[in-house]
Amino acid sequence: MSFRKIILLMLPWVLLILAWHLIATFGLVNEALMPTPAHVGAKFFDLLFNGRLPMDILKSTQRVVLGVVLGIAVAVPVGFLIGWYKDARTFLDPLINFFRALPPIALIPLVIVYFGIDEPAKVIILFYASFFAGVIVMYEGVSQISPIYINDVNRTDLRDALVHQYHTCRK
């Protein structure tokens, strides 16, 4: 990467931090609302090495992984179902499109009322956010399979061969 490109990539960030520093230093905004970059950096390193920041990062990562894995685990079979079977698509498509249009952030008050503010509520919001994205991706993938491939499978009785192979291996 050229020196010029590095400068062009870093310059907006340097200017942003400089503007932040000048605004905070000259008191244009209350210091409690906008501390200087130096104060923020010092507090960051204090929390990183002497505080609980690493534990908070770990808990947040666990929450995200759990919510996304559960959301995708449920989304894959649902997406496959509506992508493969037209009756299932006709039945589920209106519900999926209705709930998919609701942003997860809009459901936070309802989730808090029903589930509180503990871990389950946070995982449910992440599940909701990942579920609909996973359903749409799976549905699009399955519905784009060319009928030629499906007919080839049906013609060669591959399904019967796979079932026979499965039963042979189980013995």
What confidence score (pLDDT) does residue 169 get?
65
Asked if pLDDT for residue 133 goes beyond 60, the answer is yes
What confidence score (pLDDT) does residue 27 get?
83
When pLDDT is cut at 50, 70 and 90, the band that residue 43 belongs to is: very high
What confidence score (pLDDT) does residue 146 get?
75
Q: Where are the domains of the chain?
A: 1-51, 53-170
Taking the C-alpha atoms of residue 26 and residue 21, their distance in angstroms, rounded to an integer, is 8
Asked if pLDDT for residue 168 goes beyond 90, the answer is no
- The per-residue pLDDT of the chain, averaged, comes to 88
CA 121 to chain centre: 16
What confidence score (pLDDT) does residue 144 get?
83
Asked if pLDDT for residue 46 goes beyond 60, the answer is yes
Task: Name 67's Cβ contacts closer than 8 Å, sequence gap at least 6.
Answer: 122, 123, 124, 125, 126, 127, 129, 130
What confidence score (pLDDT) does residue 10 get?
96
Average pLDDT (89-104) is 90
> pTM, whole model, 2 decimals?
0.70
